[in-house]
Amino acid sequence: GENVEQHPSTLSVQEGDSAVIKCTYSDSASNYFPWYKQELGKRPQLIIDIRSNVGEKKDQRIAVTLNKTAKHFSLHITETQPEDSAVYFCAALGGGADGLTFGKGTHLIIQP
Site for other proteins in 67-86 (CB under 8 A): none
25 binds other proteins (CB under 8 A): no
Nearer to other proteins, 93 or 110 (CB): 93
From the list 13-21, 27-35, 58-66, 74-82, the region that binds other proteins by CB under 8 A is: 27-35
Q: Which of 72, 64, 93, 78 is nearest to 6 (CA)?
A: 72
- Can you tell me which of 34, 50, 75, 85 binds other proteins, judged by CB under 8 A? 34
Pick the binder of other proteins from 9, 14, 67, 111 (CB under 8 A): 9
Q: Using CB under 8 A, which of 75, 93, 108, 110 touches other proteins? A: 93
Please state whether 69 falls in left (phi above 0), alpha (psi between -120 and 50) or beta: alpha
Q: How far is the CB of 37 from other proteins (least distance, A)?
A: 11
In the chain the beta strands, taken as DSSP E runs, fall at 4-7, 10-14, 19-25, 32-38, 45-51, 56-59, 62-67, 72-77, 86-93, 100-102, 106-111
